Chains A and B, each alone.
Chain A
């Protein structure tokens, strides 16, 4: 459970933890735009002065500052995919209706397709590309592989990011619409399948790898999910009657 102050504290400490330099926490007042452009311009020798209708922004993506010039109408998702070459975040619907574009902003899951890039300055953006530690996958990523939590893989980065955030939300005591007692949110150990499913419903999967995804979250939560394979009751080959 948390109130906004705690939330801010938590976010701040998360950012410190991630080692990002920050100008302002979520609650502080941002500097006026012009100054922002000036400061941004300082960190980016590579970027030209913005053309008319464009702005210079610096985004912190997976721990690295990335400077860009873009039109204010460019969404975070399009900035990631079209400008930064970070195509791990997927565009499924472009309207907040599928979850494929889910990224973490200051540790919280967000649809990057409805977020304007220019509004994300000073925030820590984590995409699916930033979850693994070098060659070592995030436990949620491993769990997706183990439990066959995907088929075509297109919704997968969003599902993975959402699952990472979900586990963090459980640790923080967040409730869901189906939590029986709102004052006693579930813990990782007693997180039910129904809770996982409700909390992940903002991530659609048309391949419907849902069983595997739920199992992956169970595994990452330290629970014992059911085996992903089918029961194989096949018998010996029939005689070939050619």
Chain B
């Protein structure tokens, strides 16, 4: 880790100003991703702006019955919040199935959204990597790509976004509130992260100097039956091979509304909207779920080592939808 100067920002405004003034500055929140990256020289900021003491630590109800979650609320506090547990169990479960209690206790909502890929090539400077050093190449495309993307990748980068929380947030159609040198704006969560295309170095549509201040979760009554299923190589404390956030609204056995998002398959939390649309009006049964899973994975482009994830993702979708149709619970 390169040394840096450190300052504790006193206000959002000050934080944004400082970051605008210094190209090589980075915000630090929980630090569980950034410090990790800095230790292996993926990032070498000369200045860190500690935002942890800013007033973005609250979870408040919105007027329409949703929740506004401050960017600095810890992952634990989100997962354990009574309203989240009751109304958005898939968000609680997604968070709780990520990392470990120790990490979740300090990891923040903003930091979780902005955590970077766990691609092992990205994570070691011995390798070339277009995300870390644009133009150097992507060794993962011809390497061990078991954990890599099936959907929406480019020949420049096949990395996946590693977050669990974000998969649930994507399914919930949340909005990200940001504040930057040019003021405040709102970004729909599904547009927040980017596909790699020719600019894999850019994970998100956040502009330089912009700070995430909150995430707004709209009301979604049927999210109560929501499910989060995470499949991985170890029973706990491991990143997803594939994960699914799902929720169904049923009228009798007919599906009235559906939410589906996938983790571990793309450079961003993946919303298979066609598969969601397909579900509407169909009977909630195995055949329907199977077909929607087929649709969700239609464009999949497996690599040498991750072909199994296509089938795994389909099965995970079926399973999640089945559990949600039965009222939700542990997946």
- In the complex, is A directly touching B at CB under 8 Å? yes
The docked-state distance in angstroms from the alpha carbon of A177 to that of B3 is 37
CB <8 Å contact, A32 and B100: no
Residues A1-56 near B (CB distance < 8 A): 1-5, 7-8, 24, 26-33, 36, 53, 55
Shortest Cβ distance from B82 into A: residue: A1
Mark each residue of chain B from 12 to 51: 1 if its CB lies under 8 Å from any CB of chain A, else 0: 0000000000000000101110011011000000001010
> What's the least CB distance linking B39 to chain A, in Å?
7
> Per a CB cutoff under 8 Å, which of B2, B31, B85 touches A175?
B85
> Per a CB cutoff under 8 Å, which of A32, A102, A169, A174 touches B8?
A32
- Residues on A with C-beta less than 8 A from B6 are 33, 55, 72, 116, 118
For residue B265, CB closer than 8 A to chain A, the reply is no
CB <8 Å contact, A177 and B97: yes
- Residues on A with C-beta less than 8 A from B53 are 24, 26-30
Interface residue count on the A side (C-beta < 8 Å): 60
- Residues on B with C-beta less than 8 A from A3 are 59, 77, 81-82
Shortest Cβ distance from A158 into B: residue: B102
> Per a CB cutoff under 8 Å, which of B28, B55, B236 touches A198?
B236
- Residues on B with C-beta less than 8 A from A32 are 7-8, 10
Residues B193-244 near A (CB distance < 8 A): 235-237
> What's the least CB distance linking A90 to chain B, in Å?
14
- Residues on A with C-beta less than 8 A from B330 are 177-180
For residue A142, CB closer than 8 A to chain B, the reply is no
CB <8 Å contact, A72 and B36: no
- Residues on A with C-beta less than 8 A from B80 are 1-2, 173-175
For residue B76, CB closer than 8 A to chain A, the reply is yes
The docked-state distance in angstroms from the alpha carbon of A176 to that of B8 is 33
CB <8 Å contact, B101 and A169: yes
CB <8 Å contact, A119 and B10: no
- Residues on B with C-beta less than 8 A from A177 are 93, 96-97, 236, 330
CB <8 Å contact, B103 and A33: no
State which of A61-69, A92-100, A233-241 sits at the interface with chain B.
A92-100
State which of A80-88, A103-111, A129-137 sits at the interface with chain B.
A103-111
- Residues on B with C-beta less than 8 A from A209 are none
CB <8 Å contact, A29 and B105: no
Tell me which of A95, A96, A183 has the highest count of chain B C-beta atoms within 10 A of its own C-beta.
Answer: A96
Shortest Cβ distance from B58 into A: residue: A4
Given known contacts A24-B53, A73-B4, A114-B36, is B92 in contact with A119 (CB within 8 Å)? no
The docked-state distance in angstroms from the alpha carbon of A114 to that of B1 is 12
- Residues on A with C-beta less than 8 A from B4 are 72-73
For residue B5, CB closer than 8 A to chain A, the reply is yes
CB <8 Å contact, B102 and A53: no
Given known contacts A32-B10, A33-B6, A183-B85, is B77 in contact with A162 (CB within 8 Å)? no
CB <8 Å contact, B105 and A109: yes
Given known contacts A27-B57, A75-B35, is B103 in contact with A4 (CB within 8 Å)? no
> Per a CB cutoff under 8 Å, which of A26, A53, A110, A119 touches B50?
A119
- Residues on A with C-beta less than 8 A from B77 are 2-4, 7
Given known contacts A30-B8, A174-B80, A180-B329, is B106 in contact with A4 (CB within 8 Å)? no
The docked-state distance in angstroms from the alpha carbon of A23 to that of B59 is 24
CB <8 Å contact, B76 and A115: no
For residue B11, CB closer than 8 A to chain A, the reply is yes
> What's the least CB distance linking A139 to chain B, in Å?
20
> Per a CB cutoff under 8 Å, which of B52, B102, B237 touches A119?
B52
For residue B180, CB closer than 8 A to chain A, the reply is no
Residues B96-129 near A (CB distance < 8 A): 96-97, 99-103, 105-106
Shortest Cβ distance from A172 into B: residue: B80
For residue B73, CB closer than 8 A to chain A, the reply is yes
CB <8 Å contact, A201 and B236: yes
The docked-state distance in angstroms from the alpha carbon of A42 to that of B273 is 60
- Residues on B with C-beta less than 8 A from A175 are 79-80, 85, 92, 96
Residues A147-183 near B (CB distance < 8 A): 162, 165-166, 169, 173-183
CB <8 Å contact, B3 and A72: yes
CB <8 Å contact, B31 and A114: yes
> What's the least CB distance linking A123 to chain B, in Å?
10
Shortest Cβ distance from B10 into A: residue: A29
Question: What are 20 sample pairs from A and B whose C-beta atoms fall under 8 A apart?
Answer: A1-B82, A27-B53, A29-B10, A30-B50, A31-B10, A53-B3, A72-B3, A94-B39, A95-B39, A108-B76, A110-B105, A111-B102, A114-B36, A116-B48, A119-B31, A174-B76, A175-B92, A177-B330, A180-B330, A202-B103
Going nearest first, the 5 A-B pairs with the smallest beta carbon separation are A202-B100, A201-B236, A72-B6, A177-B96, A182-B85
Q: A29-B55, A72-B5 are in contact. List 4 more A-B contacts (CB 8 A).
A: A27-B55, A33-B6, A108-B105, A202-B99
- Which residues of A approach B to under 8 Å, CB–CB? 1-5, 7-8, 24, 26-33, 36, 53, 55, 71-73, 75, 94-96, 99, 102, 105, 108-111, 114-116, 118-119, 162, 165-166, 169, 173-183, 197-199, 201-204
